[in-house]
Chains A and B, each alone.
Chain A
């Protein structure tokens, strides 16, 4: 069965510092991995995805994620955090056999000035 784990409920960083939001996954086949962001009172917005190819994936708003097959991880990163990055971040894995997405529990990112 497919599953995604986000071990941190909340991540606090100072503006200008690098940030990392962790995600690990479990899949039975090839991993199709995604990051979404949810701002208050808004729907989910797509940030980036890994399907195949380079392990370092670049996405929207300066975010990137590194796919690590040996550690089954897909951590979200940004070199310099902005206060406006404060939001809820979801990691997801797609089960291509059943056309379903499985979402992690979400990590609240707080960026303080």
Chain B
């Protein structure tokens, strides 16, 4: 199964600044996803990032606020721009992978980046 790492694991940022979160996968994957998990809540999909094309954003999320890069099949970044305290969340990177011999895709998650905005 894919092994996913994220940097940073946590950060405390000032209002109005931006933070870029990196996601690295140990294998080539077509689809990568970025989720947000606000305190005490479930996961919400921010966007889907495919290599070679612009990210597809879910309702309520826009590229200006959450620009995403996907330069190759093993790496992606999510930037949280012009941060406010409401952006304090855990941000999770996720990938889909079809395991050998399996008919369906599996989804794997990174450890998350815990962001606190003051």
Contacts and interface: CB of A to CB of B under 8 A. Distances in A.
A32 B45 contact: no
A43 B42 contact: no
Nearest to B107: A101
Interface residues of A, number: 20
Nearest to B90: A43
Interface residues of B: mostly helix, strand, loop or mixed? strand
A100 B111 contact: no
Give the size category of B's interface with A. 20 to 34
Interface string A76-113: 00000000000000100010000111011110000000
Interface residues of A: mostly helix, strand, loop or mixed? strand
B104 A32 contact: yes
Contacts of A32: 104
Interface in B16-45: 31, 33, 41-43, 45
